[in-house]
Amino acid sequence: MKFKRAITGLLGLVLGVFLLAYIFRLPLTSWYLTPVLSANGIELHCIDWSLTRKLDLKVEKLCLSYQGQQLEVAGIRANKQQIIISRANLTINSPLSKSDNQRTELKKLALDLPKQRPLINIEQLDISSGFSAEPVRVTVQENRLNHFTVSRDINADVTVTGGEIVANIMLNDELAGRFIALPKNVHFSTDLQIKFDGITLNVASSVTADYQHEHQYQQNKQSIEHCDFSAQSRGQVTAEFQLNQQQLTADLSGLKSQVVVSPICLDKIEQQQYQEFARAHTPLTWHVQFTQPIALQQKQLSLPELELTSSNKQGQLVFKNTQLALDAPLKTLYSHAVVNFTSDEIDKLMLKARIEAGRVNSEFQLSMASLPDFIDVLADGVSIKGEVELENILTRPIAGNLNADISVKRAQVFDAKVTDLKTKINVHLSDSQNVTAKLNSAIKSATYKNMQMSGLTNELTVKSDLSVGELFADISAASKLAKLVTPKLTLTNLSVVSNATQSRALQATHHVFVDGIEALITHHMSKVAHPFELVIPEQAMSKLNPILKQFEPLATLTDGVISGLIKGDVNLLQASGDIRIAKLSALYNDYLANDFNAQVKAEFSSGQLNIAPTKFTLNELRAGAVVTKLQGLLQVDANHPCTSNVTGLVMGGAFVVNEFCPLATSQTAMIKFENIDASKLVTLDAESGISLSGRLAGTLPVIINEQGIAVKQGQLVNQGDGKLLITNNAGFEAVKAQQQELSTTLSLLENLDIKQLKSSVDLKPDGWLHLGVNLQGFNEKQQQAVNFNYNHEENVFTLLRALRLSDEITQKVEKEYAKKGSNNG
């Protein structure tokens, strides 16, 4: 009885212990499991379980976390054969989303997996992460111990060992599009093998991807055209992600990719000539290759090399040593870029650039046998090379430098042809937006229509401040031209030194030298006016000889100075000027003009030059006969120059010319003489024995037309008595001997007092002079009155030449001036 009671009490105690244990199962389970799970790095946050009538384990809720990943499980039924989970939620927190102080140090997996346990089936597992917009829902079934099959949203096979989790996943665009937004017309499929050991995530995949982009544009009002391009990728990709170091390394070298642009895209170029050039020189298929693994660590991306090569091998684009921070890509971008391109017309196109945190340093080079046809400039042997440096691209204002060398063997722009053009460009832009640009050019030779130039150099400097918002610039230039040849004129040693200021208008000063001739030009160019001023400083007239010789080879300026001031407006084609010529002396063949003076005031308007009547003086003119103290009026009326009231002294007397217009095709100039010394008019050999004395006056109507110079019905008459003496003249004596019937009459002329002399003068354009002379006088010795008529013809050009050659003084003066003129020329 007592034993029975003892057994009953013991059973009651055991049942009480079990009852108490079941009642306090949750804290006891937590107390027991927490250290056990912690040994595997697992934290227990909640648990609620019970036993069924069949003594199966039923877990209503279980909350676990492992290395920052959270798992919530509900509806677990477990027995010795299997564990069935109705619902589970897995939240994956990416280590990239945590700051350094929040991130925990991960450890390699060291799972103490039991060799025998019930198999696990999860009917619904929702996985939430930052990689998808909505949770991924899957079903997990463990077919054999630690081997799982995942289905539903993702199809995968997962194997778990104590130190590694291996997953084989099949993924395509249709599946991925359920969770993330993909571009339209993207199609891909990939087989992923993922291995995770707790610290390192390794991925190996086989990728097949295609992308097609359709761009529509309106070619005209009636039609809409398409411009399409596509991209393809095929190959193997491997990647490794170190979670503790936050370092991702991806090897894309096994991935073959290409981008293809549809030829129809070039139809968007409207100009046919541009379109043809683009079709011939634009590669439409490009191959993309990552030759070395890329790396991402602490948001710092490193891309050792990316190569893009056109299918025809004409073009290549390579990026080397590219680095950037994902949170500030532009500010931290560092890369070396190299572009190379060749074609049938482009011998070489090269660009090397180094990009570093908003700074770009680049070298460029372009070589072409000739420029494309669509450029209006014809050029052969084109070469361009240089360097560009840019700073503060992101922060602004931009600063930088440009250095470029341009050379062209031959070029033609409309009627202008250039040979051996070399240009050097230097541009500097400072942080304060002060810009300095220098342009140095040299041309071996150039032609424009019928003009030829050689040895042309130019130096141009422009300085400006771009920060003021308006264009203000200081400009200086120096140009030199060794030789300029035109059909009528050749100039040498031309130079122009210019200084200008550009604000709301251009103000410029040009110092010009042509064959030693100096001039100063200032002008002010605006939208409404373009006034200018030309200053000719006082300088020797002999500097004009190189120019004068080209028009009149026999002419030489030997002395004198010129100066002047001309003002006007280029837009209005108006100008007025004041030109002063002083003490001018000149030779023409063996004519000599000495001491010419004039101060000319001129007006130019509507294409016409006008000069008010201006007095001029010429101290001496030697043309066989010596003319002195010439003076008169010079006038230009609507581009027609004329002289009037020209007076002077000649042969001891005076003359006056009413008017003479050099450019008139037909005119008559009336020349009047008075008090001419007959002895100087009739200047023969001193040994001829013939002399004439007295004074003469006359009128000569000089007719000038296309046939030449002529005199019709000119007259010469005596002023007062004269004297004719003939002594020991062999010719005269021979005439008397041959014509005895005239001997008595002719002897009356040997000593004749002239009372009246009349002569008609006619000169033909060929130079033949006809004189009809009527001589009336008295021979004192023979006490005989004389009335003598005589006709004489002689070539006046030959006569004047003989007179000049016989003037010894004139010859000596001319030689002296010619020597002086050649020295000053």
Instruction: Give the pLDDT band of residue 213 (cuts 50, 70, 90).
Output: confident
How would you write 612-623 as a 3-class SS string?
EEEEEEEEEEEE
Burial class (CB in 10 A: 0-12, 13-18, 19+), 775: buried
Predicted TM-score (pTM) of the model is 0.69
Strand partners, 440: 424, 459
Q: What is the per-residue pLDDT for 424?
A: 96
Q: Is the confidence at residue 514, as pLDDT, over 60?
A: yes
Instruction: Give the pLDDT band of residue 672 (cuts 50, 70, 90).
Output: very high
Query: CB–CB of 118/79 below 8 Å?
Result: yes
What pLDDT digit, counting tens, does each position of 250-307 carry?
999 999 999 988 888 887 777 777 778 888 888 888 899 998 999 988 788 899 999 9
Mean pLDDT value across residues 130-159: 85
Q: What is the per-residue pLDDT for 18?
A: 43
Strands 574-588 and 42-51: unpaired
d(CA 290, CA 318): 10
What pLDDT digit, counting tens, does each position of 437-453 carry?
999 999 999 998 888 99
d(CA 569, CA 757): 60
Name, in order, each residue with C-beta under 8 angstroms of 478's C-beta and a sequence gap of 6 or more: 458, 459, 495, 496, 497, 498
Q: Is the confidence at residue 142, as pLDDT, over 80?
A: yes
Amino acid at 100: D
Half-sphere exposure of 220 toward its Cβ, with a 13 Å CA cutoff?
Answer: 3
Instruction: Give the pLDDT band of residue 822 (cuts 50, 70, 90).
Output: very low
Query: CB–CB of 490/508 below 8 Å?
Result: no
Give strand ranges (E) for 661-750: 667-677, 690-705, 708-726
Name, in order, each residue with C-beta under 8 angstroms of 592's C-beta and a sequence gap of 6 or more: 585, 586, 620, 621, 622, 623, 810, 813, 814, 817
Instruction: Give the pLDDT band of residue 34 (cuts 50, 70, 90).
Output: low
Better-predicted residue by pLDDT, 540 or 549:
540
Give strand ranges (E) for 590-639: 591-605, 608-623, 625-637
Name, in order, each residue with C-beta under 8 angstroms of 195's C-beta and a sequence gap of 6 or more: 164, 165, 166, 167, 201, 202, 203
d(CA 266, CA 314): 18
Better-predicted residue by pLDDT, 312 or 26:
312
Query: CB–CB of 105/90 below 8 Å?
Result: no
Amino acid at 710: A
Query: What Rg value do the Cα atoms of the chain yield, rounded?
Result: 56
d(CA 447, CA 703): 43
3-class SS of residue 820:
helix
Q: What is the per-residue pLDDT for 583?
A: 94
What pLDDT digit, counting tens, does each position of 754-791 carry?
899 898 989 898 888 888 888 899 988 888 888 888 88
Sign of CA dihedral 511, 516, 517, 518: positive
DSSP character at residue 515 = T
Q: Is the confidence at residue 394, as pLDDT, over 60?
A: yes
The helix (H) or strand (E) run that includes residue 734 is helix 730-738
Burial class (CB in 10 A: 0-12, 13-18, 19+), 289: middle
Q: What is the per-residue pLDDT for 9?
A: 44
Query: CB–CB of 401/429 below 8 Å?
Result: yes
d(CA 218, CA 227): 11
Helix (DSSP H) and strand (DSSP E) numbers for the chain: 11, 44
d(CA 734, CA 724): 19
d(CA 544, CA 519): 13
Sign of CA dihedral 662, 665, 670, 671: positive
Cα→Cα distances 681→74, 710, 808, Å: 147, 19, 17
Q: Is the confidence at residue 415, as pLDDT, over 60?
A: yes
Residue 37 has φ and ψ, to the nearest 5°, of -70, -35
d(CA 181, CA 164): 32
Q: Which of 210, 211, 301, 208 is nearest to 250 (CA)?
A: 301
Strands 300-310 and 315-325: antiparallel
Q: Which tokens is 805 given?
A: 């050659």
Count of residues in the chain: 825
Query: CB–CB of 494/517 below 8 Å?
Result: no
Q: Which tokens is 57 given?
A: 């384990």
d(CA 776, CA 554): 44
d(CA 126, CA 117): 24
Average pLDDT for the chain: 82
Q: Is the confidence at residue 8, as pLDDT, over 50?
A: no
Mean pLDDT value across residues 579-600: 89
d(CA 482, CA 234): 66
Q: What is the per-residue pLDDT for 16?
A: 40
Q: Which of 585, 651, 660 is nearest to 617 (CA)?
A: 585
The helix (H) or strand (E) run that includes residue 350 is strand 346-356
Q: Is the confidence at residue 24, as pLDDT, over 50?
A: no
Strands 186-196 and 165-172: antiparallel
3-class SS of residue 51:
strand
3-class SS of residue 387:
strand
d(CA 761, CA 714): 4
Strands 119-128 and 82-91: parallel
Name, in order, each residue with C-beta under 8 angstroms of 820's C-beta and a sequence gap of 6 or more: 558, 559
d(CA 670, CA 585): 27
Q: Is the confidence at residue 2, as pLDDT, over 60?
A: no
d(CA 168, CA 150): 10
Q: What is the per-residue pLDDT for 395?
A: 81
Mean pLDDT value across residues 65-82: 79
d(CA 241, CA 202): 6
Amino acid at 401: N
Name, in order, each residue with C-beta under 8 angstroms of 504's C-beta and a sequence gap of 6 or more: 470, 526
Better-predicted residue by pLDDT, 621 or 39:
621
Q: What is the per-residue pLDDT for 431?
A: 85
Amino acid at 740: Q
Amino acid at 140: V
Q: What is the per-residue pLDDT for 17?
A: 41
Half-sphere exposure of 132 toward its Cβ, with a 13 Å CA cutoff?
Answer: 17
Q: Which residue has the tokens 């107390």?
A: 31
Q: Is the confidence at residue 596, as pLDDT, over 70?
A: yes
Percent of the residues in the chain that have a pLDDT greater than 70, as a whole number: 85
Query: CB–CB of 525/505 below 8 Å?
Result: yes
Q: Concatenated DSSP letters for 217-279?
A: EESSSS-EEEEEEEEEEEEEEEEEEETTTTEEEEE-TTEEEEEEE-GGGGGG--SHHHHHHHH
Query: CB–CB of 433/465 below 8 Å?
Result: yes
Q: Which tokens is 646 given?
A: 């020209």
What pLDDT digit, counting tens, does each position of 338-367 carry?
999 998 888 999 999 999 888 899 999 999
d(CA 308, CA 259): 10
Amino acid at 264: I
DSSP character at residue 683 = -
Query: CB–CB of 754/723 below 8 Å?
Result: yes
Q: Concatenated DSSP letters for 779-813?
A: ETTTTEEEEEEEEEEEEHHHHHHHHHHH-HHHHHH
Q: What is the per-residue pLDDT for 23?
A: 45
Name, in order, each residue with C-beta under 8 angstroms of 375's C-beta and a sequence gap of 6 or more: none
Q: What is the per-residue pLDDT for 66?
A: 74
Name, in order, each residue with C-beta under 8 angstroms of 2's C-beta and a sequence gap of 6 or more: none
